[in-house]
Structure 1
Amino acid sequence: MEPDRVIYPLLKHVLMGPAMRVAFLPRVSGLAHVPRIGPVILAANHLAFLDSFVLPLMVPRRVHFLGKHEYFTGTGVKGRTVAALFRGLGMIAVDRSGGRSAVAALDTSAAVLERGGVFAIHPEGTRSPDGRLYRGRTGVARLAMRTGAPVVPVAIEGTDRLQPVGRAVPKPGRIGLRIGAPMAFAGRDDGVPRGKAARQVTDEIMEAIQRLSGQEYVDDYAPRPSGPSGR
């Protein structure tokens, strides 16, 4: 048996899952909207690094998501522990330094969905610097149109209060997770320029997230944080 298939249930059901419920008292609504089988894209807002743990641990299916290659290259006990933790949670390493990084990320994400898996993505591309919802990048739409997988909008609430920018360890408090109805976009680029279709689909997804979260919307891309910890 692969090591991550052992680590995943241990983290979710024995260690981190129960600990998260005690520390963050999560209020989760709309879980019935997540299909029990088959490919699905979870498209969520992004408020804090903590979000990377909220989705994999609160959604009943195994969730995969992309992460920095650097998370898997640490040395020593700490480096190996961090790599095992993220791998167990479903993170897939992607090297974003090359010119073909966007294509590689799309191919990797599509492979998860083609196997019938669940893939999570933050369309904003980085965490919000001020709690508002920023314009989505079109990767989520291109992935949905390429694979035909439904998109389930998700609103994460409260993680920015518990882990503001610069805070490594979140403080205890209440968080929320609101999950909306699946959205289908297969064939939306038929007879339409792919770039135009991708923009329209992305905007529809962001509107669905905004309705769930109640965040103020900013029709501009969120600035990427500087430094090695930015995501």
Structure 2
Amino acid sequence: MGEPRGSRAMFTFLASWVRPVMNAMMAKEWRGQERLPQGTGMIVCPNHVTEIDPIVVGHFLYNQGVMPHFMAKASLFSVPVIGSILRVIRQVPVERSSAGANRSLEAAREVLADNGGIIIYPEGTLTRDPDMWPMKGRTGAARLALQTGAPVVPIAQWGAHEVFPRYAKRFHLIPRKRARVLVGDPVDLSEFRGAPLTRTTLDAATERILDAITELLAELRGEPSPTERWDPAAKQQKSTGRDFGATGGNAGDPPSAEESGAAS
């Protein structure tokens, strides 16, 4: 099995103009490609520091022969042209309802069965950590991994935020920046497999994934990571949106697409 012909053709078309633009904008330093699992679908979990790092991660994976499929907000699929493209290349819509969640899981299973890569940001949105370390995460990636048995590949990326800072309004192209990507070994979740998918199990598996990403990021940055993970709720920050310095939302609000790990 493999990526359907129509999807692969669209990826090829998009890459024909995205890759030259990315190469012009930033130099590349990619390491750890040999750690990507071969001949199987995978769940890829990167850190999230800027709106453009999904393109960096997608560029990296595509160049390794892994078709990138993001868990994306369902609302994007209703946007003219963009929605059609997302459907052709089999990006996975994340919806709030139970029925929608089941459809998302089935779509993700199909991508994994075709040896594709499902990219899920465990943080759910751009990190709120002032120093841009991975913050407390959402459980979507861990849940999908434990439901499907797919390997979870941690990826740290750093540098794209210098070109387009978090929630910026313009690009900073001069001097030329470098986008660095480091792949880690698949996260060992064996102790959680077969266990009931309780909040305790999912939180522990999510922490295991975030620990792996943070360790890779510390290597990329050449500095020690914080001893305590940033928790937006404890800091009375909003979980979504640009204005995340103030408290927002209610404890009883339904989970958003970002809470499921959709790219922001």
Same fold (TM over 0.5): yes
1:211 Cα offset (Å): 0.5
Equivalent residue, structure 2, for 1:93: 93
Q: Secondary structure at the match of 1:178?
A: strand
1:148 is aligned to 2:159: no
1:174 Cα offset (Å): 1.7
Q: Secondary structure at the match of 1:53?
A: helix
Q: Contact 1:25–1:174 (CA<8 Å) still a contact in 2?
A: yes
Q: Deviations over 1:57-103 (max 9, x none)?
A: 111111111112332323xxxx41x3455456653333x35465545
Residues 85/49 of structure 1: CA separation in 2 closer, same or farther (3 Å cut) = farther
Q: Secondary structure at the match of 2:157?
A: strand
Residues 90/174 of structure 1: CA separation in 2 closer, same or farther (3 Å cut) = farther
Q: How many angstroms apart in 2 are the aligned matches of 1:6 and 1:21?
A: 21
Q: Secondary structure at the match of 1:11?
A: helix
- Equivalent of 1:40, from 39, 42, 66? 42
1:195 Cα offset (Å): 2.8
Residues 171/91 of structure 1: CA separation in 2 closer, same or farther (3 Å cut) = farther
1:113 Cα offset (Å): 1.8
Q: Deviations over 1:165-192 (max 9, x none)?
A: 3335543322111110112425624356
- Equivalent of 1:8, from 7, 11, 27? 11
Residues 100/219 of structure 1: CA separation in 2 closer, same or farther (3 Å cut) = farther
- One-letter identity of the residue aligned with 1:122: Y
Aligned-pair identity in percent equals 25
Equivalent residue, structure 2, for 1:204: 208
- One-letter identity of the residue aligned with 2:241: P
Q: Secondary structure at the match of 1:149?
A: coil
Deviating more after overlay: 168-177 vs 97-106: 97-106
Q: Give the alignment of 1:31-180 within 5 angstroms.
A: 31-59=33-61, 60=64, 61-74=66-79, 79-80=80-81, 82-83=82-83, 86-87=86-87, 91-94=91-94, 96-98=95-97, 101-129=100-128, 130=130, 131-168=132-169, 170-172=171-173, 173-180=177-184
Residues 9/193 of structure 1: CA separation in 2 closer, same or farther (3 Å cut) = closer
1:148 Cα offset (Å): 1.0
1:25 is aligned to 2:27: yes
1:218 Cα offset (Å): 2.2
Residues 191/124 of structure 1: CA separation in 2 closer, same or farther (3 Å cut) = closer
1:225 is aligned to 2:227: no
- One-letter identity of the residue aligned with 2:114: R
Q: How many angstroms apart in 2 are the aligned matches of 1:18 and 1:90?
A: 23
Q: How many angstroms apart in 2 are the aligned matches of 1:133 and 1:168?
A: 23
1:164 Cα offset (Å): 2.1
1:8 Cα offset (Å): 0.6
Q: Which runs of 5+ in 2 are unaligned?
A: 219-224, 234-238, 244-257, 259-263
Q: How many angstroms apart in 2 are the aligned matches of 1:38 and 1:83?
A: 27
Q: Which runs of 5+ in 1 are unaligned?
A: none
Residues 84/15 of structure 1: CA separation in 2 closer, same or farther (3 Å cut) = farther
Q: Secondary structure at the match of 1:72?
A: helix
Q: How many angstroms apart in 2 are the aligned matches of 1:48 and 1:143?
A: 24
RMSD between aligned alpha carbons? 2.7
